[in-house]
Amino acid sequence: MILESIVTTVSPEGEVNIAPMGPIVQEDTVQKETVQDETTESNTRDCCLSFLLRPYQGSRTCRNLLATGRAVIHVTDDALLLARAAIGRVDPEGLVCPVDELSAEYVRLIDCHRWFAVKVIKKGGDPPRHELTAISVADGIVRPFFGFNRAKHAVIEAAIIATRIGMIDEATIRDDMKRLRVPVEKTAGPDERSAFEMVDAFIEQRLSGSPESEG
């Protein structure tokens, strides 16, 4: 299963990056993983969720993961943040905090439904797309999931399209955005409307030849 999420990573210089990512949640778990390098004391967990992270070569997320092997995966319904992270850099000030008892490479969103701090245990794949197997070393629930909304899902789909410009033909992009606008107009709140219009404007700008942002 692919989880549409926001991932935070930290560069070796301490810069926090916030970006969308769709990690694959592995069906199996890693049993009895002893984590010794994340905390001051050994911490044996009965089982750890396993994720396959597939960052693209050249993105900040990829560079940080290859350098530190650390990230935090977030489950969130913040469509506006997802949109902002998909089309440009997000200032982390006021949005993130350290993960208690873990090393400085772990920084999580203050507001989310759930988070998983993960470490990379295996590197594979071939550029431009790496395949990094990671296991959770800590997790937490911040607030309960409120419910489903079609507009939020439409924003996620639009944000994915925004990151695939150059891989999808222009006619398909325009058709998909026209289709996604329908649930936004019918079911969106102010944040979802703003998010969709932001992504739509970005896509139009990119189709006209402006440069792509890094994730």
Give the domain ranges of the chain.
Answer: 5-141, 150-207
Neighbours of 169 (CB within 10 A): 9
| Cα distances (Å, whole numbers) of residue 140 to 7, 10, 111, 185 | 15, 19, 12, 34
12-29 average pLDDT score: 91
59-86 average pLDDT score: 98
Q: Which residues contact 100 (CB under 8 A, 6 or more apart)?
A: none
CATH of 5-141, one of 2.30.110.10, 2.30.42.10, 3.40.50.300, 3.30.930.10: 2.30.110.10
Confidence of residue 34 (pLDDT cuts 50, 70, 90): very low
- pLDDT for position 48: 78
- pLDDT for position 209: 83
- pLDDT for position 149: 98
Q: Is 6 exposed, middle or buried (0-12, 13-18, 19+ CB in 10 A)?
A: buried
Cα 40 to chain centroid distance, Å, stands at: 28
141-155 average pLDDT score: 96
> Mean pLDDT in the chain?
91
Alpha carbons 73 and 116: distance in angstroms, whole number: 5
CATH topology assigned to domain 150-207: Methane Monooxygenase Hydroxylase; Chain G, domain 1 (1.20.58)
Collapsing DSSP to helix, strand or coil, 44 comes out as strand
